[in-house]
C-alpha cells in the first residue's frame, strides 16, 4: 500500500500527512461544537426566553449523548469500518445543523423550538462520539502501531484547537448574524469535509462478538482510563473555573488561563507527540502528570494574572501527553479488531471525569473558595502518577 512505503522514508512527516484529512474531520466536528458553546445560553435565554435550568438542559444534552454513545461508536467503527464511523458522524452533525435551522422557524413557539434544539444537540453529541472515536481508530489503522501515540496526540490536538478557537468565532458570528449563522456553519462545514474524505483509504472492518469483546477490552482499558480520568480533573478545573477565578481576582483578560492552557497543549503535542511511541506511554505520562500537577499548584499560589497564566500554560504542557500516553497503554493491550471499542471506552472515562468533576469542584469552590479548586484538582491529578507507575510495572517483563 502506498502509505506504507512513503512513511518508511520519513516517518514523522508521512504519518502527519496521512493523518491530516482525519485531523481536518475532527477539527470540523469540534469547531461546530466550539462555535455553539458560548452562544447557546444566550439564544435559549434571550431569544427563546427560558431560564437557567433549560439553558443547562440544552447545553448538557450534547455531553450526555456523547457519553452514552461512546461504546456504540467504537463498536460501529470496528464492525463497519472506522471511515464509515467518521462519515456517519459528519453526516449526523450536518443533520443537527438542519435541526438548529428548523428550530428557528418556531421561535414564536418557544417550547417547540427548544424541543427541536434539544434533539439537535443530542444528535450532535452522538456525532461527536463517532467522529473522534472513528477518527482515532481510522488513524491507528492507517499507520504502523509504533506510531499510536502520534495518532492519539495529533488527532486529539485538532479537537482541542477547535474547542479553544471555536468559541471566539462563534461569539462574533452570533453578535453579527444571530443563531442562524451558527446553524448554517453546523450544516455546511461537515458536508464540505465529507467531500474531502471520499478518496481517503479505508481500513477493513473487524466484526467481533460484542459481549466478549467488551469484557476483554474493559480489562485492558480500565486502568489507563482511570488514570486519564484523574488527570483530566485538572483540565476540568481550568475549563470550568479559571474564568470565574480571574473575574473574582479582577484579573484581565478572564479567558487568558484557558487560552494559555490550550496553546501550550497544542505546541507540546506538535513538538513532542512522538515521545509516548519512543519511550513508552506510561513513562511519558508519569513525567508529564508531574508537570501538570506543578502547573495547578502554581495557579493555586498565584498572586497575579501573569503567574496564574504561566501556571495554566505549564498545566497545559503537562496534560498534553498524559492523555495520549495513557491512550497508548489502553490500545497496546487490545487486538486490532477492538481498537475502536477500546478508544470509545477510554474516551468515556474523560466524559465521566468531566461530568463528575465539575459539580464536585463546584462544591469545593462554594465551601472553601475558587482558589482551592486548583489545589484540590492538583491532588487528584497527582494520583495519576501512581496509576502510571502501576502500568509501567505491568508492562515490564517478569
What is the mean predicted confidence (pLDDT) over 307-324?
A: 93
**What's the pLDDT tens digit per position in 132-183?**
888 888 887 777 666 676 777 777 777 777 766 776 788 788 888 989 999 9
The DSSP symbol for 45 reads: I
- The total domain count for the chain is 2
Give the length of the chain: 398
For residue 296, give Cα distances in angstroms to 277, 307, 313, 320, 379.
26, 11, 10, 14, 9
Classify 38 as helix, strand or coil. Answer: coil
Q: Which residues, 6 or more positions from 56, have their beta carbon under 8 angstroms from its beta carbon?
A: none
Q: Do 152 and 228 share a structural domain?
A: no
Prior bond of 253 cis (ω within 30°): yes
CB 246 within 8 A of CB 116: no
Q: Do 386 and 342 share a structural domain?
A: yes
Q: Do 57 and 163 share a structural domain?
A: yes
**In this model, does residue 123 exceed pLDDT 90?**
yes
Is 380 a domain residue?
A: yes
More confident residue, 240 or 327: 327
CB 169 within 8 A of CB 189: no
Using CB atoms within 10 A of its CB, is residue 110 exposed (0-12), middle (13-18) or buried (19+)? middle
pLDDT at 398: 41
Is 81 a domain residue?
A: yes
pTM of the complete model beyond 0.75: no
Q: Do 215 and 123 share a structural domain?
A: no
Q: Do 215 and 165 share a structural domain?
A: no
Q: Do 188 and 117 share a structural domain?
A: yes
pLDDT at 72: 84
**What's the pLDDT tens digit per position in 8-46?**
445 555 777 777 788 888 888 888 887 887 677 778 888
Domain boundary among 164, 196, 228: 196
Q: pLDDT confidence of 251, banded at 50, 70, 90?
A: confident
What residue numbers bound the domain in which 322 lies?
210-395
Q: Do 260 and 126 share a structural domain?
A: no
Cα separation of 235 and 226, whole Å? 15
Cα separation of 304 and 218, whole Å? 44
**What's the pLDDT tens digit per position in 261-289?**
888 988 888 888 778 878 888 899 999 99
Q: Do 304 and 173 share a structural domain?
A: no
Q: Do 216 and 191 share a structural domain?
A: no
Is 201 a domain residue?
A: no
CB 256 within 8 A of CB 305: yes
Is 202 a domain residue?
A: no
Q: Do 223 and 188 share a structural domain?
A: no
What is the mean predicted confidence (pLDDT) over 318-345?
A: 80
Counting residues of the chain whose pLDDT is more than 90, the rounded percentage is 28
3-state SS of the chain: helix, strand, coil percent to 5? 85, 0, 15
Is 126 a domain residue?
A: yes
Is 357 a domain residue?
A: yes
Classify 63 as helix, strand or coil. Answer: helix
DSSP per-residue string spanning 287-335: HHHHHHHHHHHHHHH-SSHHHHHHHHHHHHHHHHHHHHHHHHHHHHTS-
Is 135 a domain residue?
A: yes
Cα separation of 362 and 370, whole Å? 8
Q: Which residues, 6 or more positions from 217, have their beta carbon under 8 angstroms from its beta carbon?
A: 334, 338, 341, 342, 345
pLDDT at 9: 44
Q: Which three cell numbers mark 30? A: 469540534
Domain boundary among 196, 228, 259: 196
Domain boundary among 136, 164, 196: 196
Give the CATH number of the domain where residue 145 resides: 1.20.1250.20
**What's the pLDDT tens digit per position in 346-398?**
878 887 887 778 778 888 888 888 889 999 999 999 999 999 999 888 765 44
Spatial CA neighbour of 70 closest among 29, 24, 127, 117: 127
Is 237 a domain residue?
A: yes
Q: Do 177 and 222 share a structural domain?
A: no
pLDDT at 138: 82
Q: Do 39 and 9 share a structural domain?
A: yes
Amino acid at each position: 500500500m502506498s502509505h506504507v512505503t512513503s512513511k518508511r522514508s520519513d516517518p514523522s512527516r508521512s504519518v502527519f500527512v496521512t493523518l491530516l484529512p482525519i485531523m481536518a474531520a475532527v477539527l470540523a466536528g469540534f469547531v461546530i461544537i466550539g462555535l455553539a458553546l458560548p452562544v447557546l445560553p444566550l439564544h435559549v435565554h434571550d431569544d427563546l426566553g427560558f431560564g437557567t435550568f433549560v439553558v443547562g438542559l440544552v447545553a448538557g444534552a450534547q455531553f450526555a449523548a456523547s457519553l452514552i454513545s461512546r461504546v456504540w461508536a467504537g463498536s460501529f467503527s470496528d464492525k463497519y469500518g472506522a471511515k464509515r464511523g467518521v462519515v456517519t458522524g459528519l453526516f449526523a452533525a450536518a443533520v443537527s445543523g438542519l435541526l438548529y435551522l428548523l428550530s428557528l422557524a418556531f421561535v414564536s413557539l418557544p417550547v417547540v423550538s427548544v424541543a427541536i434544539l434539544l434533539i439537535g444537540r443530542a444528535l450532535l453529541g452522538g456525532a461527536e462520539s463517532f467522529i473522534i472515536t472513528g477518527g482515532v481508530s481510522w488513524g491507528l489503522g492507517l499507520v504502523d502501531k509504533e506510531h499510536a501515540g502520534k495518532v492519539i496526540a495529533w488527532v486529539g490536538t485538532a479537537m482541542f484547537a477547535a474547542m479553544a478557537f471555536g468559541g471566539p468565532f462563534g461569539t462574533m458570528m452570533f453578535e453579527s448574524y444571530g443563531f442562524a449563522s451558527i446553524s448554517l456553519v453546523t450544516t455546511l462545514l461537515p458536508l464540505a469535509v465529507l467531500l474531502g474524505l471520499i478518496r481517503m483509504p479505508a481500513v477493513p472492518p473487524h466484526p467481533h462478538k460484542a459481549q466478549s469483546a467488551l469484557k476483554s477490552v474493559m480489562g485492558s482499558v480500565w486502568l489507563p482510563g482511570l488514570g486519564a480520568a484523574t488527570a483530566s480533573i485538572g483540565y476540568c478545573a481550568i475549563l470550568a473555573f479559571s474564568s470565574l477565578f480571574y473575574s473574582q481576582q479582577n484579573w484581565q483578560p478572564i479567558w487568558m488561563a484557558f487560552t494559555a492552557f490550550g496553546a501550550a497543549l497544542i505546541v507540546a503535542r506538535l513538538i513532542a507527540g512522538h515521545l509516548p511511541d519512543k519511550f513508552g506511554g506510561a513513562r511519558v505520562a508519569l513525567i508529564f502528570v508531574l508537570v501538570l500537577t506543578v502547573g495547578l499548584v502554581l495557579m493555586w499560589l498565584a498572586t497575579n494574572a501573569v503567574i496564574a497564566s504561566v501556571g495554566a500554560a505549564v498545566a497545559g504542557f503537562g496534560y498534553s501527553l498524559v492523555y495520549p500516553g495513557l491512550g497508548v497503554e489502553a490500545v497496546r493491550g487490545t487486538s486490532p479488531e477492538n481498537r475502536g471499542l477500546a478508544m470509545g471506552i477510554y474516551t468515556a472515562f474523560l466524559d465521566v471525569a468531566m461530568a463528575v468533576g465539575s459539580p464536585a469542584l463546584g462544591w469545593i469552590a462554594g465551601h472553601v473558595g475558587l482558589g482551592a479548586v486548583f489545589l484540590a484538582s492538583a491532588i487528584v491529578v497527582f494520583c495519576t502518577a501512581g496509576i502510571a507507575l502501576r502500568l509501567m510495572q505491568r508492562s515490564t517483563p517478569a
